[in-house]
Amino acid sequence: MSLTQQQIHLIQSSFAKVKPSAMQAAEIFYDTLFEYDPSLESIFHGDMKSQGEKLMRTLDTAVSSLSNLDALLPVLEALAVRHVQYQVQPKDYTTVGNALLATLSKGLGDEFTPVVRQAWVDGFRLIAKVMKSAAYPDAA
């Protein structure tokens, strides 16, 4: 699976609109994530504001690197291995993806068109596939 240049543009331009309210977006994301699966809250320890900052930095790196997947792959693979240490399970990627889509929908409103949404779905699926393959090679 790969992304088209149009999909990359849609993801990057829509994320640029979210960045000015990054901390609010992170709060919405985690509220939504824990609403979808309250058991995931036990994975997070410490300051959620700091966690939100990490999330937004990671998203920014991933989104800005979509045009250079060769450089992004090792970053995603290392992140995936760290997530195993935090007890993230393969099924959690779906919940995270759904929470991300809900967050983007709230943050972008009418600008989260079906085409933009599909670009994000395809982008997240690509990222999740890479991460799951690195974290759970026996399951791939």
Each residue's pLDDT tens digit, 91-106: 999 999 999 999 999 9
Q: Are residues 55 and 79 in contact, defined by beta-carbon separation less than 8 angstroms? A: no
Q: Is residue 8 part of a domain?
A: no
Q: Are the C-beta atoms of residues 104 and 120 closer than 8 Å to each other?
A: yes
Residue 53 in contact with residue 29, Cβ under 8 Å? no
DSSP SS3 for 65:
coil
Could you tell me where the DSSP H helices lie in 19-113?
22-36, 48-64, 69-85, 92-108
What's residue 2's pLDDT?
85
pLDDT at 135 over 60: yes
Establish if 55 belongs to a structural domain.
Answer: yes
Could you tell me if residue 63 is inside a domain? yes
- Has residue 115 been placed in a domain? yes
| Residue 127: domain span | 22-135
Residue 94, domain CATH: 1.10.490.10
- Is 91 a member of any domain? yes
Say how many domains are in the chain: 1
pLDDT at 69: 87
On whether residue 11 sits in a domain, the answer given is: no
Instruction: Tell me the pLDDT band of 45, cut-offs 50, 70 and 90.
Output: confident
What's the predicted TM-score (pTM) here?
Answer: 0.92
Q: Answer yes or no: is 59 within a domain.
A: yes
pLDDT, residue 81, reads 92
Query: For residue 6, what are the CA distances in angstroms to 26, 49, 61?
Result: 26, 33, 19
